[in-house]
Amino acid sequence: MSNVLLTGDFQAMLPNDYVGFTFFVGCMAMMAASAFFFLSMNSFDRKWKTSILVSGLITFIAAVHYYYMRDYWAGSVAAGGLEGGESPTFFRYVDWVLTVPLMCVEFYLILKVAGATKNLMWKLIAASVVMLVTGYWGEAVAMEQAALWGGISGAAYFYIVYLIMFGEAKELATKAGGSVLSAHNMLVKFVLIGWAIYPLGYMIGTADGQWYSFMGNIGIDMNVVYNIGDAINKIGFGLVVYSLAVASTSKDAA
């Protein structure tokens, strides 16, 4: 019996490769979420179609990248064994640099009803790009300075948290009230709690020689942490927007 699991056009994957399995499940989950969001667009009026479209684009872009990341990981395992699995860092950050700004756009879209301006949207997008670029630099280019670059990335993250929890975005959500405020508060929880998963993955993957070197002894591959974080945040973000659209549509119909 073959000691590999063949999955169509995918690179062969070892049956005991739990990291590769999370890539596979992540790809399937993102594909399913994309189909759900795209097929549900016609259930809502025009003002919500863009938000649902963006939700579908976020998970679709992630699904495509997860396909390649899973293949990349499985190929490296096939060449070097389970201990030789190489993290698809470049593909992951390309995914994030496309999807995370779109998640920031979701805040702008749901707050337009309260008078949100594009200035707010660009602030969130700019901060997210700084967060990702500096994170990539610390994880893939200057790993000996991972703590420094991770700190800069964290500062950009906390600026986003400030804007949506206490700043302009929060003021607009409070002004809108009702289902908009509820959806905003839920998205804030995803950013505050869900996005906090990613620094754990970063610290696990760059622990060598850093003040947080103890994180390297946890025994969990950073890709598993990242994959779980992506599934929770990207699909969850879209479901919150979908719930807001359903609530708003039901209210208008009544």
| Helix 146-165 / helix 178-189 crossing angle, nearest 10 deg | 170
Q: Is the pTM of this model over 0.85?
A: yes
pLDDT at residue 121, rounded to an integer:
94
Tell me, rounded to whole angstroms, the distance of Cα 188 from its chain centroid.
14
**Cα separation of 123 and 125, whole Å?**
6
> 18-253 in CATH: which number?
1.20.1070.10
Q: pLDDT digit string (tens) for 57-112?
A: 999 999 999 999 998 998 888 777 777 678 999 999 999 999 999 999 998 988 88
**What is the DSSP code string of the chain?**
--SSB--TTSPPB-TT-HHHHHHHHHHHHHHHHHHHHHHHGGGS-HHHHHHHHHHHHHHHHHHHHHHHHHHHHHHHHHHH-GGGPPP-HHHHHHHHHHHHHHHHHHHHHHHGGGT--HHHHHHHHHHHHHHHHHHHIIIII-GGGHHHHHHHHHHHHHHHHHHHHTSHHHHHHHHH-HHHHHHHHHHHHIIIIITTHHHHHHHHHT-TTSTTGGGGGS---HHHHHHHHHIIIIIHHHHHHHHHHHHHHHHHH-
Which pLDDT tens digits describe the chain residue by residue (254 residues)? 333 344 445 566 677 788 989 999 999 999 999 999 999 998 887 778 999 999 999 999 999 999 999 989 988 887 777 776 789 999 999 999 999 999 999 989 888 878 888 999 999 999 999 999 999 999 999 999 999 999 999 999 999 999 999 999 999 999 888 888 888 998 899 899 889 899 999 999 999 999 899 998 888 889 999 999 999 999 999 999 999 888 877 666 55
pLDDT on residue 12: 65
Q: Which two tokens stand for residue 217?
A: 């002894």
Note the pLDDT of residue 128.
Answer: 96
Angle in degrees, 0-180, between the axes of helices 46-80 and 236-253, rounded to the nearest 10: 160
Three-state SS for 147-214 is HHHHHHHHHHHHHHHHHHHCCHHHHHHHHHCHHHHHHHHHHHHHHHHHCCHHHHHHHHHCCCCCCCHH
Q: What is the pLDDT of residue 6?
A: 41
Model pLDDT, residue 5 = 42
Residue 251 confidence (pLDDT):
66
d(CA 33, CA 199): 25
The one-letter amino acid at 217: N
**Confidence at residue 248, expressed as pLDDT on a 0 to 100 scale:** 79
What type of residue is 125? I
